[in-house]
């Protein structure tokens, strides 16, 4: 399928695929440097289509088929992309499904447009990772390198090394969600693998403890890794979505 494109108010060109159907609209929010062609996004799209449910997947700027470069982007840019996609491409209630960085994006949505959200599913959510993951682990030498050249290069268990810019770190500090009240007035289901080397179980528990939510559950899956995309994990995502859609 050929992607459609949306131009955001900031002038970025966002690639997307949209499935019409009954609501709430399921909106898949991918992770850092992932794209809308990933296993989870494609699987959930097919699942939604089989049920006649509305579904949206898209690439943030600097990701996949969208415009811009990853190195120039930051959490705030991708939040703007998400808001633009939701405003232009969906109507009525939505259910964000946020994977890794997409989990942070889902939580930012909860602050920006809580009235639109009927429920939420997160998969290895990584809120505040620019501060608690990157900055907290940088050596003095890396911090000096960041200051001197504007970026540092980091290895990854899941992709080629990538550049983290000073802009990403500084912008991330303005988007933190675990340092002030976080109201989630809708059902939330969080999924986390215990073998995840990118996002820790501690992060999942911290989010569970911090959020203000009357219907929030965390499922820990022994030996599941950050991809969370084998057959059993995909089934758990489906089950979490069904719970949230039923509760909403």
pLDDT tens string 138-168: 999 999 999 999 999 887 776 677 889 999 9
Does this model's pTM top 0.85? yes
- The Cα–Cα gap between 125 and 191 comes to 8
Note the pLDDT tens digit of each residue in 4-15: 999 999 999 999
Q: Is residue 169 classed as helix, strand or coil in its secondary structure?
A: helix
Q: Strands 151-154, 162-165: parallel, antiparallel or unpaired by DSSP?
A: antiparallel
Could you tell me the CA-to-CA distances from 65 to 1, 2, 85, 105 in Å, in that order? 13, 10, 15, 19
Closest CA to 193 of 125, 129, 104: 125
Q: How many Cβ atoms sit within 10 Å of the Cβ of residue 91? A: 11
Could you tell me the CA-to-CA distances from 131 to 5, 81, 149, 216 in Å, in that order? 32, 21, 19, 25
How far the first Cα of the chain sits from its last, in Å, is 31
Closest CA to 226 of 29, 31, 26, 28: 31
Average pLDDT, integer, range 3-26: 97
Average pLDDT, integer, range 219-233: 95
């Amino acid at each position: 399928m050929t992607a459609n494109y949306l131009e955001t108010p900031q002038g970025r060109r966002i690639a997307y695929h949209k499935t019409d159907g009954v609501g709430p609209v399921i909106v898949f929010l991918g992770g850092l440097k992932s794209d809308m062609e990933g296993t989870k996004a494609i699987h959930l799209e097919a699942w939604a289509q089989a049920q006649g449910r509305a579904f949206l997947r898209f690439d943030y700027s600097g990701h996949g088929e969208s415009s811009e470069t990853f190195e120039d982007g930051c959490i705030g840019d991708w939040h703007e992309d998400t808001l633009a996609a939701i405003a232009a491409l969906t109507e009525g209630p939505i259910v964000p499904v946020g994977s890794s960085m997409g989990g942070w994006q889902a939580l930012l949505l909860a602050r920006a447009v809580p009235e639109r959200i009927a429920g939420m599913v997160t998969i290895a959510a990584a809120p505040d990772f620019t501060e608690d993951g990157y900055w907290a682990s940088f050596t003095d030498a890396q911090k000096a390198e960041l200051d001197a050249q504007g970026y540092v290069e980091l290895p990854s268990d899941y992709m080629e090394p990538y550049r983290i810019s000073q802009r990403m770190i500084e912008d991330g500090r303005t988007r933190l969600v675990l340092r002030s009240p976080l109201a989630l007035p809708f059902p939330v289901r969080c999924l986390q693998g215990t073998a995840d080397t990118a996002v820790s179980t501690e992060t999942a528990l911290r989010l569970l403890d911090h959020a203000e939510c009357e219907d929030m559950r965390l499922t820990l899956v022994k030996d599941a890794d950050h991809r969370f995309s084998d057959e059993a994990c995909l089934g758990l995502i489906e089950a979490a979505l069904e719970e949230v859609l039923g509760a909403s």
